[in-house]
Amino acid sequence: MPIPPCAPDRVRRVACIGAGVIGGGWVAHFLARGYDVTAWDPAPDAETKLRRLVDAAWPALEQIGLAEGASPDRLTLAATLEEAVADAEFVQESAPEKLELKRSLLAQLDAAAPAGVVIASSTSGYPMTDMQTEATDPGRLLVGHPFNPPYLIPLVEVAGGEKTDPAAVEWASAFYKAAAKSVITMDRELPGFIANRLQEALWREALHMVANGEATVKDIDDSITEGPGLRWAFMGPCLTFALAGGDGGMGHMLDHFGPSLKSPWTRLEAPELDDSLRTAMVDGCDEAAAGRSIAQLVAERDQGVINVLRATGRLPEQRNEGGDK
């Protein structure tokens, strides 16, 4: 693949292909960050819906703070795919999740986009290796997987396929960072990437529970928002569980709760908790702690939970309702 025509932090013009919930969310994000955005979507009412989505998102984006010169007026709807990408310095594809569609669409985009311009797919789970089969220059095709809504949730997972040029992966990661996203660059293709594998495991367990009458939709949602979800907004599942180990951290937690991995607490079989996995988890948590003691982490977690409780309206001004005192 030729060298991308501009540096990741010099991009001004982005093309968004597909303008549904995710594609439209990307449009809103790039507009708010001050880019010129050209969008294309074959649906007859695409423009109306897209402008409505951007208008609905704009007040939120104003709250966050717009980039200088950012405006919904910098959105152009293109009549054709070719027109949409003709001047683009980056292309984000967010078509429906159909492998054949993605394959041919990416080949069309590759044929139409200026040489060297990186083309990212928002796919929720297809590996790029399976999608880049029909393109002439597969080296510039990669996955840039966002979360809904892309204009507010920072995460983008970046992963190339077998034929993707590592330089394109590096360029895209730098571009997304410049566009105010939080990037995880993967060194391999993994179905569902990382966050979706995690939330999909949770989601499948939830579906099983509803299917078997073990819990209602409300139980499931409440169990997360009133429980682990309050911690996960700022501290991930690994570091959170490390704090369940008291002063012993992740090591003690694994030794104490390790036997539970044999229990049928979910339909997902656990891996063998051997020395190598134990070490990887303990070392990973030590690294994440970056010198902070367990006591410091506990204090940070506590303040974080309080901040989230307050931010989500769950700390009334007066809270003296406990007991009958």
Measured from the CB of residue 23, what is the shortest distance to a second copy in angstroms? 11
Q: What share of the chain is helix, strand, coil (3-state, %, to 5)?
A: 50, 10, 40
Measured from the CB of residue 245, what is the shortest distance to a second copy in angstroms? 8
Q: Where are the beta strands (DSSP E) in the chain?
A: 13-17, 36-40, 75-77, 90-93, 119-121, 141-146, 155-160, 182-185
Is residue 33 involved in binding a second copy (CB under 8 A)?
Answer: yes
Measured from the CB of residue 251, what is the shortest distance to a second copy in angstroms? 13
For residues 55-94, which are near a second copy according to CB under 8 A?
Answer: 56-57, 60, 63-70
Size of the site for a second copy (CB under 8 A): 145
Which parts are annotated binding residues for NAD(+)? Answer: 18-23
HSE, CB side, 13 Å, CA atoms: give it for residue 15.
29
Measured from the CB of residue 239, what is the shortest distance to a second copy in angstroms? 6
Is residue 23 involved in binding a second copy (CB under 8 A)?
Answer: no
Measured from the CB of residue 110, what is the shortest distance to a second copy in angstroms? 24
Provide the mask over 260-289, with x wherever binding to a second copy is found by CB under 8 A and - wherever it is not. Answer: xx-xxxxxxxxxxx--xx--xx-xxx-xx-
* Cα–Cα dist 273/42, whole Å: 50
Provide the mask over 233-262, with x wherever binding to a second copy is found by CB under 8 A and - wherever it is not. Answer: xxxxxxxxx-xxxx---------xx-xxx-
Query: 261: which DSSP letter?
Result: G
Query: 227: which DSSP letter?
Result: T
For residues 196-225, which are near a second copy according to CB under 8 A?
Answer: 196-211, 214-225
For residues 160-199, which are near a second copy according to CB under 8 A?
Answer: 178-180, 182, 184, 186, 188, 190-192, 194-199
With beta carbons less than 8 A apart as the criterion, state whether 143 and 128 touch: yes
Is residue 320 involved in binding a second copy (CB under 8 A)?
Answer: yes
Is residue 324 involved in binding a second copy (CB under 8 A)?
Answer: yes
Provide the mask over 112-131, with x wherever binding to a second copy is found by CB under 8 A and - wherever it is not. Answer: ------------xx------
* Cα–Cα dist 118/122, whole Å: 13
Task: Specify the DSSP element, H or E, that contains 37.
Answer: strand 36-40
* Cα–Cα dist 193/186, whole Å: 8
Is residue 136 involved in binding a second copy (CB under 8 A)?
Answer: no
Instruction: Select 80 or 312, whichever has its Cβ closest to a second copy.
Output: 312
CA distances from 215 to 173, 205, 290 (A): 40, 11, 39
Beta strand pairing status for 36-40 and 75-77?
Answer: parallel
Measured from the CB of residue 138, what is the shortest distance to a second copy in angstroms? 22
* Cα–Cα dist 156/149, whole Å: 11
Angle between helix 46-64 and helix 21-32 axes, rounded to 10 deg: 50
Is residue 111 involved in binding a second copy (CB under 8 A)?
Answer: no
